[in-house]
Structure 1
Amino acid sequence: MTWTEVAAGVYARRHEELDLTTGLVVGDGACLVIDTRGDRVQGAELKAAVREITPHPWQVVLTHPHFDHYYGTAEFLPCDVWAHEGFRINPGEQATWAEKYRAEGKEDIARAIETTTIAGPTKFFTERAELDVGGRTVVLHHFGPAHSFDDVVVHVPDVDVVFAGDLVEVPEFIEESFGDGDAGSWPQALEALLALEPEVVVPGHGYPVGANFVAAQREILSSGRFTAGWTSPR
């Protein structure tokens, strides 16, 4: 678990659990944390890691409402927490994920999930929002349902970096990616992401890639390899 500076003042951090990738944008006297990991212990670890890079106050943005990306949020409060307006917390999922980890023999993670205080967003947007991160403009986009109904793409235009959340996974999609959202409109969301002309795309899981990798995943989705016409009931 180390930070990679993918552009000036923009960092990605890969985590052993689920190969989750979180992000950090540092401006002049402020920073933005992108996703908060999957339980209170993981959130506290990420918080300490952010402090290795910067002492500045933060805002948080959540790329989508799946537990591994936001259960650590309470560790960062008080602060503004941004998400798409459709973001919803499902209280029943907490016990479900704890049981899953316990069944896998990961008792420490199961207990951490059970004892986590779930905190949700405090700030919402519909299609686009601009944040001032210490003089740097960071743009939040929602390009429609795809991996989830509430995917957020985080664009740092001054260095051409995009944090894609689970719209992009590296090296390849995992089966669990298709249990929520709308796979049929996912290629259009990736097309909109590519229209931002990013030099670096940070995925929700895995290592940073370029636009060509995203284009290849768009083609896989368009081919129908992954139930491309399937839509989950909300």
Structure 2
Amino acid sequence: MPKFKPILKRPGELIRSEDWNKIQEDVREDLERLEKEIERLRAYIEMMTESVTLTNLESPVGKPYRLDEEVPGEVGSYATSVVGYITRQWLAKEGAGEICRFGVLSHFDVLYYWAAANNGNRRALEIVVEYVDGTVHVEKDVYVHEWSKLQPKGSENPYVEYLLSPNERVWYKYQLRNPHPDKEVRYVTFLNRDPECNVRVGNVLQHVSRVRPLSEL
């Protein structure tokens, strides 16, 4: 509640100096209190985020495999049809090359994706973020962990979460920070740059964006 309380006078009446000074002090204190409340509200809004999960994603490039399907050149599979939200794994058609390209059409600050690699623990992944305005951002030499057994996080591209299949094959959840969160993203493309490493990407993306005040839009 505001501390200020008006002192009413009839036309022509004088106001005492102490009353006038008290009015000024009360108004000042109310303004300071209001400023603090606005700062607290602004800090709260800046911490608010919106999260969107995209599932069952399709790609015009790469090749999809079921999770319980053995990929040519590998031994074993995830031995289940679903791990978390992941129902398909995308791989490059011929060793190195494009793994998949997923449509996003949204703004985001952070992108989460699921990946793993046969003969992994290598900097084999490249990620291309394509914006609606035609510009791109490229992340090269992205480290991907081995899928056959849970690996330590390490310091290179540490995963934020992992999922194990019934036979303990692994999916790792990684994050990518968008350097241009003010730009709308059209596509995110994943590429395998190491022919000796079979990188797979799950058909699920999650993007998180900070809720921005109208003044920033």
For Structure 1 versus Structure 2, the TM-score category normalised by the shorter chain is under 0.3
Larger radius of gyration: 2
1 or 2 for the larger relative contact order (CA 8 Å, sep ≥6)?
Answer: 2
TM norm structure 2: 0.25
